[in-house]
A and B are shown apart, each in its own frame.
Chain A
């Protein structure tokens, strides 16, 4: 029996609860586990086949970002304690393999290279840092963002990095030496509040499956930032030319939201969170073509390797899974 990707035919297939708010989630590349970072300083691991939950405790603040090695043997976590930790995620009771004090202030983003040999982190100290996963040594430190970088990704199949900051700058850094290759600007998804605090910026970056597009997600149409009046948005660039393509948002329904993450389905469909809803876009079409409503605000999402099951991490502490299609 096969399942065809079709968000309109989605159904909820699992709902696992933790007793604290969740900020992030990832599914391991083997499809065995889903893990989620919490504001209670823990990482929760659920075994997808059984729903068995295991708690991973070593951070000393909110766990904000997660990434798996390509073979699924190691989990990397970044937290507001300024540290990244490597975990032996496949063991019965995962323990830290390595704990690295990485940034002064919060770790905001973490990415794993295509071969698993490097991880990159960014944090409140405005630095991008590249680390060896073998021994935890710092390989490169990049001091090129004028404001806090929120997120970063390795450019597919290279050690080049792309990072996005709180004021809407996107920089590409050369993998060999950390020099700046080029910059893109997404200033339209950044706002300055009262000359004191930036608001919005590049919350997440995703490459399309063919590597030809880079999508920055975040917020725009900010009318009252402290009150949270804004709209979720995904802004896509042609990665080859650096030119902006579509600005995609949820137009069919007014929802105050930040798009914390947008990911590409292998067929090119874009999937992003819009407050309590999961939105689906077709390439270069402005509006969502479908929304799935959930019980609580979503702060992260990730596709299972089967490319059909979508896991979401929620404000109410739940990890939920929707099967995006019907059995055929």
Chain B
């Protein structure tokens, strides 16, 4: 167990974000670093109220069947392209609702990476690094949670909405520490699961037992101090704050018409929860839409999967705009790579990192922009080739985080993003 001596500075109040769940999984990752040293140092960012929402299409969505259609060509598949609300921009016919929100969006059609393994590709697009060194890097959500952190904020700064999610922490914050790791919480009726007091437990009795816990903890901490113990303590405090906010996660509190507009699918429910979390100014929210790895039957599956995505996503963008939230929210439709131009014998598409696309919406970007292009068959990037490192800088800059600055972790400097790269400047507003 690592022994450490906290300096007692007020900044170290970040530890309150430690949250009940699987957070200790992250403890191994931070061994050797000081968990509660200055989080941002000279590079502290003071953005207020901004949010980043990632809709992660897990498995690798096809760029042909989404953002970069190649209709009427052998590589293009059977789906046509349709016009959008931005003259001259066409996307797949599978996205009719999203097409009407394009004036709030931007496309990047020239992403070229070099990893076609799900795990490795997932890691690089989330971390903005090519992890061939011993250093593990925090994912975008952790960096944003730290970069947009506010001292009095009662909720976790990095939330992954997940069906049945009950507060478990992932291990994706690396040297930033588990308080910035993602917390999985679902859109459930009644709010966060397992946060009601047990039968027979009164608020008064519950308060008394927490007072006792704090007293015992404090007495013990005066003799023995460790990051793990503080993490445990902060976990309890975070859980208590979350219990007070449980109704935020209860989407059935929304009007029936609102729930219907988002679709009462699992994805629609998570998107509605994401809107509520944006309203609550949670810095980073991720919604996962899984299973896009269509090596077989690609077109049949996209027919259903893109339809499942399209209406809730488009309504989310429109809803954020109508509520005035889009101007402080960056939305990223992320995936780990694209799919092959070549259609295989199972009418599937395989992994293709060489030329693929993502979509963005919201704050800090040029609406209606299309960055880069691919050749007519979608095989090669022919203009403005970018990769995950450019994207990472761009996401951060769009919400006002200086991606060229550094984290100061126990006196050791960690560049926030890969210093050899920069943002896609022409995309930034």
Contact = CB atoms under 8 A, between A and B. Distances in A.
Partners in one complex: yes
A196 B74 contact: no
Interface string A190-218: 00011111110000000000000000000
B301 A197 contact: yes
A225 B78 contact: no
Interface in A274-321: 296-297, 315
Contacts of B327: none
A196 B305 contact: yes
A196 B308 contact: yes
B301 A226 contact: yes
Specify the main secondary structure of chain A where it touches its partner: loop
A315 B345 contact: yes
B296 A21 contact: no
Contacts of A197: 300-301, 303-305
Contacts of A315: 345
A226 B294 contact: yes
Contacts of A198: 304
A193 B74 contact: no
A34 B301 CA distance: 31
Contacts of B78: 39, 61-62, 80, 106
A61 B72 CA distance: 8
Nearest to B298: A226
Contacts of B265: 195-196
Contact of B345 (A40, A193, A226, A296): A296
Contacts of B295: 226-228
Interface string B279-317: 000000000001101111100110111001000000000
A193 B301 contact: yes
A184 interface: no
Contacts of A138: none
Contacts, number: 58
Contacts of B206: none
Nearest to B301: A197
A196 B297 contact: no
Contacts of A193: 291, 301
B346 interface: yes
A226 B60 CA distance: 12
A142 interface: no
Contact of B343 (A21, A226, A296): A21
Given A196-B308, A315-B345, A39 B296 contact: no
A228 B346 contact: yes
B348 interface: yes
A194 B291 contact: yes
A199 B305 contact: no
A105 to B, nearest CB: 8
Contacts of B296: 225-228
Contacts of A180: none
A255 interface: no
Contacts of A40: 74
A297 B303 CA distance: 23
A21 B78 CA distance: 12
A199 B304 CA distance: 10
Contacts of B294: 226
B348 A196 contact: no
Given A197-B304, A197-B305, A198-B304, A297 B345 contact: yes
Contacts of B304: 196-198
B186 interface: no
A20 interface: yes
Interface in B343-370: 343, 345-346, 348
B156 interface: no
A21 B73 CA distance: 12
A232 to B, nearest CB: 13
Interface in A87-101: none
Contacts of A227: 293, 295-296
B345 A196 contact: no
B59 interface: yes
A199 B74 contact: no
A257 to B, nearest CB: 9
A226 B266 contact: no
Contacts of A195: 265-266
B50 to A, nearest CB: 31
Contacts of A225: 296-297, 301
Interface in A60-81: 61-62, 80
Interface in B31-72: 59, 72
A41 B291 CA distance: 30
A226 B291 CA distance: 8
A80 B301 CA distance: 15
A40 B76 CA distance: 11
Contacts of B59: 226
Contact of B291 (A20, A196, A297): A196
Given A196-B308, A197-B301, A228 B291 contact: no
Interface in B373-426: none
A226 B293 contact: yes
B25 to A, nearest CB: 26
B379 to A, nearest CB: 17
Interface in B151-189: none
B74 A20 contact: yes
A1 B303 CA distance: 52
Interface centre among A61, A62, A80, A226 (most CB of B within 10 A): A226
Nearest to B293: A226
Contact of B297 (A20, A106, A228): A228
Interface in B183-223: none
8 contacts: A39-B78, A41-B72, A196-B265, A197-B303, A226-B59, A226-B301, A228-B296, A315-B345
Interface of A: 20-21, 39-41, 61-62, 80, 106, 124, 193-199, 225-228, 256, 296-297, 315
Given A196-B308, A225-B296, A226-B59, 12 more contacts: A106-B78, A193-B301, A194-B290, A195-B265, A196-B291, A225-B297, A226-B293, A226-B294, A227-B293, A228-B295, A256-B346, A296-B345
